Structure 1
Amino acid sequence: MQKLRQDFGERDTDIYVVTYPKSGTTLMQMLLYQMTTDGNMDFEHLYKVSPWCRFSAYFNQPMPSVGQRRIIKTHDPYQMLGGIQKGKFIFVLRDGLDVIASLHQHLLDYNNPQSDFSDLANRKMRDWFEYNKNWLENKAKLNILYLHYEDVITNKEQVIQTIATFLEIEMSEPLMERVLQKTSFDFMKKHETKFGEQPEPNKVYNNFIRNGKSGEGKQKFTEDQIIQYKSLSQEYQTESTLLERYFE
């Protein structure tokens, strides 16, 4: 992976999409692709226009370097990317309860139909806090715009304007209309083969683009697990208040 990154290099115009898995990564990649290009959908898969280093490394492929504003996906921990000196970062936060519930559904569909929810929740809850804490502390002072997934799906136009200001993109009315239309659930579901994993007999291929709603994950957790979630929020407190909305 290190060599892939070295070959790919760094540019001032790079845009890194950083998330804990199942936090709206694909939606943000597509949103940025629409904002920074003519929005053509003739690409085979999103990773051809918005590369993911781990995916390229797994399949022993080079990272495609396309577009004037390269859009780079990553779920990597802060320690692996803190040394980057060029580009801007968009970090998307999502309620940990919804994240874990979505991750469990993904595992059921793609990896392990017998996946146990309680076991997954107990393993991933602390991991989610640890991941976010390091990115929120941002000790290397990376240029990061922090967004909430919940705002992206409920107030998308305002979020797009915030992103446009951060990336210095001029948003015309036709461009805004196209971005909104092509990042809608219906549009992305229609083009699901360009976003999800490639089909295999043991995978539910038509369930990658899901209408991820806020607050539904909580229903899958026991009362004790929710108490643990709120307790961890105290243990992993930072100066940032960006996670507080999830523990009210």
Structure 2
Amino acid sequence: MPVEAGEATSEGIRKLRERLGGFETEDGRIKGLNFRPRDGDVFVVTSPKCGTTWLQQIVHQLRSRGSMDFVEISEVVPWVEMAADLGQDLDADHAFSPRAFKTHCWYDHCPKGDKCKYIVVVRDPHDVAVSFFTFFEGWYFQPGEVSLEEFVKHFWLARGIPESKMQNASYFHHLISWWQHRWDDNVLFLFYEDMKADLELHVREIARFIGVDHTDKELIRHPLATEKSTFAFMSANKEFFDERLTKMKRNVHCGLEPGAGLGNGKVRDGKSGHGKVELPQSLAQEIDAKWMATVGKDLGCQTYEELRERLRKEREARKQALKGDV
């Protein structure tokens, strides 16, 4: 993972940055960003902890009719930025069609193809901040080594606009960059919370978007794509979704034990809200302030919920316009 800008304010944050400095190589990342996709390739596009693994599973279940024949989901839906460092060939054929990849790139850095498909998912930033912290705790730092406040203020919120291709965009700039393309024919822009509210509806929408038969009731409903993409199923089979490929290949380069973090799976309860970790009001206010300085300033929406409502109204208006054209 790219080393982020900003001064470390504690020994724990300093160690976190130092460890993440070995997460990927410059050659490997640049090779991924220079990847030339084929027509029809599908990209799962998210800022970290916005539902990446969930979307990888949905796409793979749709294209494979429910196959779980993989060690870990990124084996069959490779991570573009990490593939070279993990020994994966992005140009290789996939066992199922369409080929599918994951990326955390903002729009500017993402490999492009006019006939590729990009599924973009965003999530409430308060939940993202907490989820990112709990994902790293027990892997890149031990409980008590880094506080939630330190992590959010001096790591997650410290991100901004990338100064080079070796840096990820902040959650906020990533969102803005893809929002501008939400109505491109090859972009499907979704909200995590909407997917939770009606998974089957969104599985069907994703199937239609990537060219899979969305009228196939057996595939869309049970026991294939939708059932195997529920949090209940994924939690019961968390070993398929624990980032083990990355951990086994890159932990030692980060100065960690080879098996560090293997018990720290990516699938939790999938709940909106903060779960077992409470986000202090002061931190929530700092996240809101960053939202206003970025998303609010550029897109004119003061809150995440306002942005969701804006897209809902836009979709409804487009539907009505299409009906009027018939």
TM-score normalised per structure 2: 0.67
CA distance in structure 2 between the partners assigned to 1:246 and 1:121 by the alignment: 23
Q: Is the 8 A contact 1:18 1:73 kept in 2?
A: yes
CA distance in structure 2 between the partners assigned to 1:141 and 1:182 by the alignment: 29
Larger radius of gyration: 2
* 2:237 aligns with one of 191, 208, 221: 191
Secondary structure class of the residue paired with 2:225 = helix
What does residue 8 of structure 2 align with? none
- CA shift for structure 1 position 78: 1.9
What does residue 13 of structure 2 align with? none
Q: Is the 8 A contact 2:107 2:178 kept in 1?
A: yes
1:173 aligns to 2:200 (yes or no)? no
Rate the CA distance shift 1:154–1:79 in 2: closer, same or farther, 3 A. same
CA distance in structure 1 between the partners assigned to 2:33 and 2:115 by the alignment: 13
* 1:209 aligns with one of 267, 281, 301: 267
Q: Is the 8 A contact 1:197 1:205 kept in 2?
A: no
Question: What is the letter of the counterpart of residue 226 of structure 1?
Answer: A
CA distance in structure 2 between the partners assigned to 1:153 and 1:130 by the alignment: 24
- CA shift for structure 1 position 235: 1.9
1:106 aligns to 2:168 (yes or no)? no
CA distance in structure 1 between the partners assigned to 2:121 and 2:58 by the alignment: 13
Q: Is the 8 A contact 1:192 1:206 kept in 2?
A: no
Q: Is the 8 A contact 2:45 2:119 kept in 1?
A: yes
Q: Is the 8 A contact 1:4 1:62 kept in 2?
A: no
TM-score normalised per structure 1: 0.86
- How many aligned positions are there? 247
- CA shift for structure 1 position 29: 0.7
Q: Is the 8 A contact 2:176 2:299 kept in 1?
A: no
- CA shift for structure 1 position 140: 11
CA RMSD of aligned residues (A): 2.9
Question: What runs of 5+ residues in structure 2 fail to find an aligned partner?
Answer: 1-28, 160-169, 249-257, 310-326
- CA shift for structure 1 position 87: 0.3
- CA shift for structure 1 position 100: 0.9
Q: Which moved more, 1:233-242 or 1:89-98?
A: 233-242
Secondary structure class of the residue paired with 2:226 = helix
1:95-117 CA-partner distances (Å, limit 9, x unpaired): 11111101101111211112221
CA distance in structure 2 between the partners assigned to 1:218 and 1:191 by the alignment: 21
- CA shift for structure 1 position 191: 2.6
What does residue 34 of structure 1 align with? 61
Question: What is the letter of the counterpart of residue 228 of structure 1?
Answer: E
- CA shift for structure 1 position 189: 2.4
- Same amino acid, percent of matched pairs: 27
CA distance in structure 2 between the partners assigned to 1:39 and 1:161 by the alignment: 14
CA distance in structure 2 between the partners assigned to 1:140 and 1:152 by the alignment: 19
Rate the CA distance shift 1:77–1:5 in 2: closer, same or farther, 3 A. closer
1:163 aligns to 2:206 (yes or no)? yes
- CA shift for structure 1 position 201: 4.3
Q: Is the 8 A contact 2:238 2:267 kept in 1?
A: yes
Describe how 1:112-127 pairs up with structure 2 within 5 A: 112-113=141-142, 114-122=145-153, 123-125=155-157, 127=170
1:114-162 CA-partner distances (Å, limit 9, x unpaired): 2221122113136221221122123995721111111222210111222
Secondary structure class of the residue paired with 2:67 = coil
* 1:78 aligns with one of 107, 110, 134: 107
Q: Which moved more, 1:196-205 or 1:156-165?
A: 196-205
Q: Is the 8 A contact 2:231 2:270 kept in 1?
A: no
Q: Which moved more, 1:75-84 or 1:142-151?
A: 75-84
- CA shift for structure 1 position 83: 4.4
Q: Which moved more, 1:237-246 or 1:44-53?
A: 237-246
- CA shift for structure 1 position 213: 0.7
Question: What runs of 5+ residues in structure 1 fail to find an aligned partner?
Answer: none
